[in-house]
Amino acid sequence: MIVLGFVALVAVLAVVSFIGARMIERSYPPAGRFIDIDGGRLHVLQLGPAGAPPVVLLHGASGNLGDMRMALGEKLAAKYRVIMVDRPGHGWSDRPGGRADAQPMRQAALIHQALEKIGVHKAIIVGHSWSGALATAYTLSYPDAVSGLVLLAGVTHPWPGGVAWLNHLIAAPVIGPLLAHTVILPLGYFLIDAGIQSVFEPQTPPPGYDTRTGVRMILRPQEFIANTQDIVALHGAVTAQSPRYGEIKAPTAIIAGDADRIVYTDIHSRGIYKMLPDATLTVLPGVGHMVQFAATDVILKAIDDVAAKAKP
């Protein structure tokens, strides 16, 4: 009877998760267009004049393009062609390579395919948090396609301590998908508000952040798995690519907060600043991880400054 009861509970949770995921998707439909890549499609949203200088915004972990759109996209669109991408496996983008697409270099290759197809051959690349590794990987892989680089509280180097045990568990075969398809979404509905608050500390989320960004998309089983795979792969990825940062010649702006407890400024932002030949570093006192919301005007000016130095 105990076994039957457990099986019944798992089945109920799986149904609840399936229905919940479909409800989330109906609440946050695609805002952009789909671009074909090898084996699938990426969801891409463009704002601003088509002939303006292009700026590509890359979101961090546990999110989608809605985060960067709310913080920077609408404001940048007044003078730039702004391209926002749901990273592979996030938002409405496919993850054609499965676990292999957790690597920043692989995501860079897929995003480069999409940008080429929409006629973006050279752009300023802006990466937040996890996408610090992606933006630098993109620049290392396609230096001629990058006119400038902006890193916002970006992960760039290996760090002590690794990642939380839950990420390893969800990224593992069998048990990870089982948990993701049963308990993560129901639990997530109760925990996500606290999670959002913790990411913004010591600041607070702007009004309407959860609904305007569609952050609850992360609770869908396949996206949650993709996100944990990304996080687990990150340490090894930056360990491999960080010795090459001296190759990056593009003008670069690095912005971080000294109160960031998620991506340590001393290790990452100050670390890569020392390695780049043409970079500026701005460390914001009292600012946490979500610098794109806490210091939007500083970041907009930094993008303008990089654009002024960028070679067409």
CATH of the domain at 156: 3.40.50.1820
Domain count, the chain: 1
Alpha-carbon distance of 193 to 282, in angstroms, equals 29
pLDDT at 42: 98
pLDDT at 6: 61
Full-model pTM: 0.96
Beta strand residue intervals within the chain, DSSP E: 33-37, 40-47, 54-58, 81-85, 123-128, 146-152, 252-257, 279-284
The token duo for 299 is 């970041």
Task: Please list the pLDDT of the chain residue by residue as tens digits (312 residues).
Answer: 666 666 677 788 888 899 999 999 999 999 999 999 999 999 999 999 999 999 999 999 999 999 999 999 999 999 999 999 999 999 999 999 999 999 999 999 999 999 999 999 999 999 999 999 999 999 999 999 999 999 999 999 999 988 888 888 888 888 889 999 999 999 998 899 999 999 999 999 999 999 999 999 999 999 999 999 999 999 999 999 999 999 999 999 999 999 999 999 999 999 999 999 999 999 999 999 999 999 999 999 999 999 999 877
Q: Which domain holds residue 291?
A: 2-309
Alpha-carbon distance of 46 to 43, in angstroms, equals 10
pLDDT at 168: 87
